[in-house]
Amino acid sequence: MKASVLMATQEKEVWRRVREEVADLCTIRVSTTTAETCETLLQKAFDIIIVDCKLPHFDGVEFVHALRHAPASDTFVVTWGRVHPVVYFAQPKTWESMMVPRSITSVVELVRARLDPAAARTLRAVRYQSKEHTFFVVFKNGKTYELPRDVIEEDDGTTIVRGPKVIHGGEAFQVRLKSGKTYEVAWDFVLYHQEPTYPYHKGKPEQQRAELRRAERIAARIRQEREARGWSLGELASRTDIQPPNLSRLESGKHAPSLETLERVADALGLRLVDLVRT
C-alpha cells in the first residue's frame, strides 16, 4: 500500500508537480484552507503532512490541535517555508518535523527521501560526538540515531584519527583508530541497535530467540572443531589473539560474536567462515 500525504496549499502548480513527481511512492490529498486541513486530519491518518506557509490566514494553533487529535500520532510534518512557531514548539514528542525552502524541488526531494525504501537503508552523514562517545548517524530518509561507540566490538577504544565517513554510497561508515585499526559500520547494524520498528531490532523477542539459537549453534561448532584438534581453550585463544574468558563465553553460547571474531576463529581452525556458521 502506498503512503498517504496531505498537502495544504492553494498553489495548484505546486501540488500538481509534486503529485506527478512522487506518484510512484504515495497518494496526495490537497486541502486549501486551515479548516479543511484540520477537518481532513481528524478523518484520516497521513504519513506526511506538508503545510504551505503562505496558506491564507493559516492558524497554527488550530493546526496543532487537529494534529493532537488525529488518528496517526507519528506523522511527519513538513513546513514549506516558515510558519507560526507553535507548530514547532507545541508538538507531541512522537511527531517529527522539518522545514524546507520554498521550492517544488525541495518538497519532492524530501518526500522521496522519506518514503523511498532505499532511503531507509542509506546513510547521508555521520559525526562522532566525543563527549557522549556516540556516533550521530543521519539516514537519507531523515531519520537520526545516536549509536554508542561501545556496542561496536571492533572498536578498541583508542582515539579516532580519521572519520567517521560515509562509504560505499551510503551503505556504511568507516572509522580509523590511533591503533592503526580501521573498521566499517553497516546501515543495518545501526538499525539493529537503534530502530525499534526494524524487523531485526535487538529488542524484538523473536530476534532475541533467533540470536540465541544462532549463538548456540556456532558455539557447538567451535567447541567441536577445537576438541577434534586436541586443543585447549588457551591454545585457541593464543591462535586467535582472543582472551580466554571471551572464548569461553563464545563456546557457551552466551555471546553473539562479531564477524571479525568469527573470521579470526575460522582462520585459526583452518575453516571457511561459511563452514563455521552453517547450520
Which CATH number covers residue 28?
3.40.50.2300
Please check whether residues 110 and 123 belong to one and the same domain: no
- Residue 279: pLDDT over 60: no
Rounded Cα–Cα distance for residues 135 and 33 (Å) = 42
Please check whether residues 89 and 43 belong to one and the same domain: yes
Please check whether residues 33 and 81 belong to one and the same domain: yes
**Quick check: 103 and 123 in contact, CB under 8 A?**
no
Q: What pLDDT is attached to residue 246?
A: 77
**107-111, 152-156, 204-208, 213-217: lowest mean pLDDT where?**
204-208
Q: Does any domain span residue 74?
A: yes
Please check whether residues 69 and 123 belong to one and the same domain: no
Rounded Cα–Cα distance for residues 159 and 161 (Å) = 6
Please check whether residues 156 and 173 belong to one and the same domain: yes
- Residue 223: pLDDT over 80: yes
Contacts of 105 (CB under 8 A, 6+ apart): none
Rounded Cα–Cα distance for residues 10 and 91 (Å) = 25
Contacts of 64 (CB under 8 A, 6+ apart): 86, 87, 90, 91
Q: Does any domain span residue 199?
A: no
**Total domains present in the chain:** 3
Q: Phi first, then psi: what are they for 228, rounded to 5°?
A: -65, -25
Which CATH number covers residue 129?
3.30.2020.30
Please check whether residues 190 and 243 belong to one and the same domain: no
Q: Does any domain span residue 76?
A: yes
Rounded Cα–Cα distance for residues 190 and 172 (Å) = 9
Please check whether residues 28 and 89 belong to one and the same domain: yes
Please check whether residues 111 and 127 belong to one and the same domain: no
Please check whether residues 55 and 70 belong to one and the same domain: yes
Q: What pLDDT is attached to residue 146?
A: 95
Give me the domain span that covers residue 137: 119-194
Q: How confident is the model at residue 173 (pLDDT cuts 50, 70, 90)?
A: very high
- Residue 90: pLDDT over 70: no
Segments in the chain forming alpha helices (H): 12-22, 34-43, 60-68, 86-89, 104-115, 187-194, 205-228, 233-240, 244-251, 259-269, 273-277
Please check whether residues 148 and 248 belong to one and the same domain: no
Q: What pLDDT is attached to residue 86?
A: 63
Name the pTM for this structure: 0.58
Q: What pLDDT is attached to residue 256?
A: 66
Rounded Cα–Cα distance for residues 172 and 170 (Å) = 6
C-alpha cell belonging to residue 265: 576463529
Which CATH number covers residue 224?
1.10.260.40
Pairing of strands 144-148, 26-31: unpaired
38-75 pLDDT, tens digit per residue, is 999 999 999 999 998 888 888 888 888 888 888 876 78
- Residue 209: pLDDT over 70: yes
